Structure 1
Amino acid sequence: MGIRTVFTDHSLFGFDDAASILTNKLLEATLRNVDAVICVSHTGRENTVLRSRLYPPTAYVIPSALVADQFKPAVQLPPTDTVTIVVISRLAYRKGIDLLVATAPKICAMFPQVRFIIGGDGPKMIDLLQMRENYLLQDRIELLGPVRHSDVRSVLVQGTIFINTSLTESFGIAILEAACAGLYVVSTRVGGVPEILPPDMISFANPDEDDVIRAISQAVRTVQAGKHDPQKAHDLIRGFYDWNQISERVERVYDAVFETKPYDFWTRMRRTLDLGRFAGPIFAIILVVDCLFFMVLEWWMPSWDIERVQMHWNQERFVEIASPRKMNDTGE
C-alpha cells in the first residue's frame, strides 16, 4: 500500500505580488502529489485550484463545524432599549479594523442606544484606543483585550449584533459561533463569508466605510423590530454544522482516496520535475530525502507494528470533553 495524503486548506491568497507568487509556488509543490484537498468554502476551493494548478475533481468542499451546545443563546435576552454590537477578532489590518475605527463613532452618533463590546488583541488596538479617546466614547465602547475561547460565548450573549469587517476570509468560524449564540451578523462580503449563513441571518456590506454604516444601520433596525429570532438561528446552525455530519463527509473523502491507485515513486518524481526548470529539481531532491527518511522510519518502527485506533464519533461525549466548564441551568 502506498502513502496517501489528504491536505486541508483554509487560506486565500492573491496572484500578483511577490509574496503571493512565492507562496503559491510552494503550495503547488506541496500539493503536487496529494490524493485529495479539502477546502472550507467554494471560494476557497476555487482559489486553491487556481493557485496550485490542482486537478479540480481532487478538491472537495467541507465547511468547518462547531459544538452548538457551547454557544447557546442567553435565556434572558438583552434589553430591547439597548443594542449591543459585539466584535471578537484579531485586531489587525487583514481583519478590517480600520473600517471598525472609522465607522464605530458614526454609528454611536446615529444611534444613541448602541454600544460596542470589542474583544481581541493585535497591532490595531492602539487605533481603537485613540478613536475612543478622541470621540469620548469610553462609556459606549468597551475594549476587553484578549478573550480566551472558553469565554467567547459569555461575551457574545451580551450582544444582539455581531460585526465582521475582514478584508479577506476563507470561511469565518467567528461568524458561525456568533450566529449560533443567537446574534444577528453584519459582515463584509469577502471570500467565503457569503456561503456561511442564510440571507435572513446576515447583512452584507462592501468593504468601504459608507456601506458598512448602511449595513449596521439596517441590522440595528432589524433587531429593534424583533425580526431576528436567536433560538431559531441557533437551531439552524446546529443542523447545518453538526460535527457528526461534517466528520462523515470527511470520512467519505478518505474512503474515495483509498479506492484510487496511489502514485508510485517514479510518477511522483515526474510530477515533481514538471514544476519547472528551477523549482522541479529542488523539490525532487526534497522528495528523495523524504522517501529515504520514511524508509529509515519504516525500518526502525514498522507500520505493521503500530496499533490502529478506531474513532467513533459521539456528539454527547464530544461536548462533555470539549466544554471548558459545565453550564448552569440558565445556560450561562
Structure 2
Amino acid sequence: MPTRTEPPEKRHVICMASDFFYPNTGGVEEHIYNLSQCLMKRGHKVVVITHSYGQRGGIRYLTGGLKVYHLPLLVMYAQCALPTMICNIALIRYILIRECIEIVHGHSAFSVLGHEVSIIGKLMGLKTVFTDHSLFGFADTSAVLTNKYLQMCLCECDHCICVSHTGKENTVLRAKVKNHKVSVIPNAVDAYNFIPDPSQRDPNFITIVIVSRLVYRKGVDLMAAIIAEMCPKYPKVRFIIGGDGPKMWLLQEVREKMGLQDSVTLLGSLKHSEVRDVLVKGDIFLNTSLTEAYCMAIVEAAACGLKVVSTKVGGIPEVLPESMIYLTEPNVSSLIEGIENAMEDIREGKILCPYKCNNMVRTMYNWMDVTRRTEIVYNKISRNKNNPLGYQLRSYLTSGVWPFILLISLMYLLLQLAEKIYKRKHIDIARDLQL
C-alpha cells in the first residue's frame, strides 16, 4: 500500500458524471466530491458533469479548483434528467474532448446522465467505470425496469465498483455483470469533521437521534411506530429527527395526535455541515432502513461516539464492528429491543469512549484509502484495448433489447456527424484560446 506522499502510478484525466451532485445533498454527492478532491491531491485531473440546479448553471469551480459543468438539462423526476440519450451528444462530446478526458466515471444506477455520458464516452474510445451506490429488488415493476436499464448500460463498461460485498452480489445478479469486473470499495467519512462532544448531551434524558431522508425505503413507518410505543413507556427518552421527505407528514401526525411535542423534535432538512452538531446531542443513533448498500449515516454517528441501533439489511452488517452497533430485524419489536439494550449499556456505562470510536472510524474508513484503491481500478482499465463498434453492438445485444442497438447505432452516427461539423482541432484551438 503506497504512502500518502507517493505519486500515483499514472496520472489520469477523469470525468465524474452523475445527476446527483452539490448543491443537492446525499451520500452519492458527498462520495463524488470527496473522491474528486482526493484524486486531485494525488495529482490527477478531475471534472464533474451534472445538470443545472435552479440558478446554478454553466461552469462552476469548487474547493481545490474542481471544475463542475452544470448542463442545461430538463429534470424529469427526483433530480434525474430526461433520458433522451441523443439530444446532448454534441455538448457532452465537446466537454470530453475539451477536457482531454481519458476515463468516464459514472455514479448511481438511477442517474440517467451518468449512464448517458458513459455510453458516449465508450463510443468515443474512452475507458468507463461505474459505481453502484444502492441495492434494488427483483420483483416489482420499477425494479425490473431499472435492472434492465442498468444491464443495457453496463454491457460495455470496463469496470464496476460497489460499496459493499452485498452490493456486489446484487449488482452482478441484476445487471448480469461478470464477477471479475466488479470491485468492492467502501464509502468513507472525514472523521475530523465528526469529532465527538459529550458536553452537548443532556444528562437528564436519553436522546435518540435520527438523520435520514424521510422516504419509504428509510423505514419512516417503523420510526413512527417506535416513537408511538417508546415515548409513553419511557418518559426520559427524547427523539431528535433531522431530514425531510414525502413521509414527514407521518411523523408530524404521530407527534400531534399523541401530544409528543416535548419528546420529539423535527428539525427538517439539514445541510451536511449541520449534521455533526445534531449528532453530538445524542446518546443513540437509530437507523430503520429497509434496504441499504452501505449507509454513511451510521458511520458518521459512530464517529461522533453514538451507540448505533440499525436494521441488518443489505450491506449494513459489513460496516461497523459489534462493539459499536446493535443489529436488529426490520420490524418494530426487534428495533425497540435493540434500543432498550443500548439504553441499558448507557445506564451501566458499557459503552466505548466517544473519542476511541472516532479513532476507530478514522482508521477503518478514510478517503485517501478509498482513492488509492480507486486508482488501482483506473490503472487496470487504462491497459484495456478498446473494442470496435461491431463488438460493442454484439455486447449490447446480450441485453435482449433489440431497439437499444438501433439507439447506440444512431448515437454513433450522430457522433460522426458532430466530428464533421465541429472537428476536434477546432475544440483544441478554442481550449487553447481560453487558456
Q: TM-score, normalised by structure 2?
A: 0.67
* 2:249 equivalent to 1:101: no
In the TM superposition, residue 251 of structure 1 has moved relative to its aligned partner by 0.5
* 2:293 equivalent to 1:162: no
Structure-1 separation of matches of 2:219 and 2:425: 50
Determine the structure 1 residue equivalent to 2:121.
Answer: none
Q: Is the contact between residue 80 and residue 224 of structure 1 (CA under 8 Å) also seen in structure 2?
A: no
Q: What is the DSSP-based 3-state SS (H/G/I as helix, E as strand, rest coil) of the residue aligned with 1:86?
A: strand
Q: What is the DSSP-based 3-state SS (H/G/I as helix, E as strand, rest coil) of the residue aligned with 1:60?
A: strand
Determine the structure 1 residue equivalent to 2:296.
Answer: 173
Amino acid at match of 1:266: G
The within-5 A match list for 1:7-22 is: 7-22=130-145
The within-5 A match list for 1:55-74 is: 55-74=178-197
Amino acid at match of 2:358: H
Amino acid at match of 1:287: I
Equivalent in 272, 280, 291 of residue 412 of structure 2? 291
The within-5 A match list for 1:128-139 is: 128-139=251-262
Structure-1 separation of matches of 2:187 and 2:302: 14
Identify if the C-alpha distance between structure 1 residues 250 and 302 changes in structure 2 by more than 3 Å, giving closer, same or farther: farther
Q: What is the DSSP-based 3-state SS (H/G/I as helix, E as strand, rest coil) of the residue aligned with 1:11?
A: coil
The within-5 A match list for 1:1-332 is: 2-74=125-197, 76=199, 78-228=201-351, 229-276=353-400, 279=401, 281-295=402-416, 300-301=423-424, 305=428
In the TM superposition, residue 302 of structure 1 has moved relative to its aligned partner by 5.1
Amino acid at match of 1:283: F
In the TM superposition, residue 235 of structure 1 has moved relative to its aligned partner by 0.7
Give percent identity, aligned residues only: 45
Amino acid at match of 2:391: T
In the TM superposition, residue 76 of structure 1 has moved relative to its aligned partner by 2.3
Q: Is the contact between residue 28 and residue 52 of structure 1 (CA under 8 Å) also seen in structure 2?
A: yes
Amino acid at match of 1:107: M
Structure-1 separation of matches of 2:361 and 2:426: 40
In structure 1, stretches of 5+ residues that fail to align are: 308-332
Structure-1 separation of matches of 2:167 and 2:335: 24
In the TM superposition, residue 296 of structure 1 has moved relative to its aligned partner by 5.1
Structure-1 separation of matches of 2:294 and 2:147: 19
RMSD after superposition: 2.1
Identify if the C-alpha distance between structure 1 residues 303 and 41 changes in structure 2 by more than 3 Å, giving closer, same or farther: farther
Q: Could you list the per-position Cα deviations for residues 79-108 of structure 1 after superposition, in whole angstroms to 9, with x for gaps in the alignment?
A: 444211000111121111111111113222
In the TM superposition, residue 123 of structure 1 has moved relative to its aligned partner by 2.0
Q: What is the DSSP-based 3-state SS (H/G/I as helix, E as strand, rest coil) of the residue aligned with 2:189?
A: coil
Amino acid at match of 2:405: A
Determine the structure 1 residue equivalent to 2:83.
Answer: none
Q: Could you list the per-position Cα deviations for residues 89-143 of structure 1 after superposition, in whole angstroms to 9, with x for gaps in the alignment?
A: 1112111111111111322233322111011112222211121122221111111
Q: Is the contact between residue 107 and residue 217 of structure 1 (CA under 8 Å) also seen in structure 2?
A: no
Q: What is the DSSP-based 3-state SS (H/G/I as helix, E as strand, rest coil) of the residue aligned with 1:90?
A: coil
Quick one: higher RCO (CA 8 Å, sep 6+), 1 or 2? 1
The number of equivalent residue pairs is 305
Amino acid at match of 1:291: Y
Amino acid at match of 1:262: N
- Larger deviation, residues 8-17 vs 105-114: 105-114
Structure-2 separation of matches of 1:233 and 1:181: 7
Structure-1 separation of matches of 2:309 and 2:415: 49
In structure 2, stretches of 5+ residues that fail to align are: 1-101, 103-124
